[in-house]
């Protein structure tokens, strides 16, 4: 396969956890991968790490809350690798607490980071990224099982992920005639740096140890354990493939049986 024939994938929030696993997997599946995250140092370190593994990866810093950053990121990807074939909207943050005590700043930042960014990135990939002109492509949004059910002390996060699921279904139906598919991957509990922060937040809220929270969460999962970033990435890799061409407007769980919905 020539360089020009290799597909180009964009991955946001790609320097750790699920995003890093997705970037690595897509690159091993012969994609040319362009990554972004807020920290320039982390992006540079991750690019070098993946390049040292023999993978074709590059990237630039990206704050998905900034329309200017999003535009510059997609333009840089096009200049580096060519028009976009796959967009993985992974960047996100946790956030919650007692709802009556949540301030506007936290609420708006969670919504902006987790939901508004998905709109911004997708619009830019379709236009500047050239996906709409190609009449083919894959948009894969990392949502959450919290986007299908309410999460106690997690109203901002749950609201944002419900929005991602709704956006996915609406846009998937809109773009279906063009051959561009849009799907959401909904992880449950996944062992990532963000998961550790979430456990600590619940431990503080309930005045218990983080180990007690971990035990409580694991007890909810039929498989009895957290999923791995690589297991979530596996579904992303499938949805990016030609075999998944008839799957669109879906929100698919990777959760160890946590959610039957």
| Catalytic residue list | 157
Query: Which residue is listed with tokens 């190609």?
Result: 134
Which residues partner with 36 through β-bridges? Answer: 12, 60
Give the separation between CA 57 and CA 8, rounded to whole angstroms.
Answer: 10
Residue 69 contacts residue 43 (beta carbons within 8 Å): no
Nearest-angstrom CA–CA distance, 78 and 54? 21
Q: Where are the beta strands (DSSP E) in 13-170?
A: 32-37, 57-61, 86-89, 137-142
How far apart are alpha carbons 179 and 177 in whole angstroms?
6
CA distance 51 to 94: 30
> Which two tokens mark 28?
């091993």
């Amino acid at each position: 396969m020539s360089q020009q024939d290799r597909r180009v994938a964009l991955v946001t929030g790609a320097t750790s956890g699920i995003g890093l696993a997705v970037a690595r997997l897509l690159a091993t599946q012969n994609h040319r991968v362009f990554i972004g995250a807020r920290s320039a140092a982390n992006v540079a370190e991750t690019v070098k790490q993946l390049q040292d593994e023999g993978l074709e990866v590059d990237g630039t810093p990206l704050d998905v809350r900034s329309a200017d950053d999003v535009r510059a990121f997609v333009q840089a990807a096009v200049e580096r690798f060519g028009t976009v074939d796959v967009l993985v909207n992974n960047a996100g943050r946790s956030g919650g607490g007692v709802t009556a005590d949540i301030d506007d700043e936290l609420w708006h930042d969670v919504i902006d980071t987790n939901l508004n960014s998905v709109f911004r990135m997708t619009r830019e990939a379709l236009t500047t990224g050239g996906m709409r002109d190609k009449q083919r492509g894959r948009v894969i949004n990392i949502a959450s099982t919290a986007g299908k059910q309410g999460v106690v002390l997690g109203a901002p996060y749950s609201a944002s992920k419900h929005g991602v699921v709704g956006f996915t279904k609406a846009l998937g139906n809109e773009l279906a005639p063009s051959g561009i598919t849009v799907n959401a991957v909904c992880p449950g509990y996944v062992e990532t740096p963000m998961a550790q922060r979430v456990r600590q937040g619940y431990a503080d809220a309930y005045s218990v140890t983080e180990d007690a929270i971990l035990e409580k969460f694991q007890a909810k999962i039929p498989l009895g354990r957290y999923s791995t970033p690589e297991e979530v990435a596996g579904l992303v890799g499938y949805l990016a493939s030609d075999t998944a061409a008839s799957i669109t407007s879906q929100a698919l769980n990777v959760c160890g049986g946590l959610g039957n919905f």
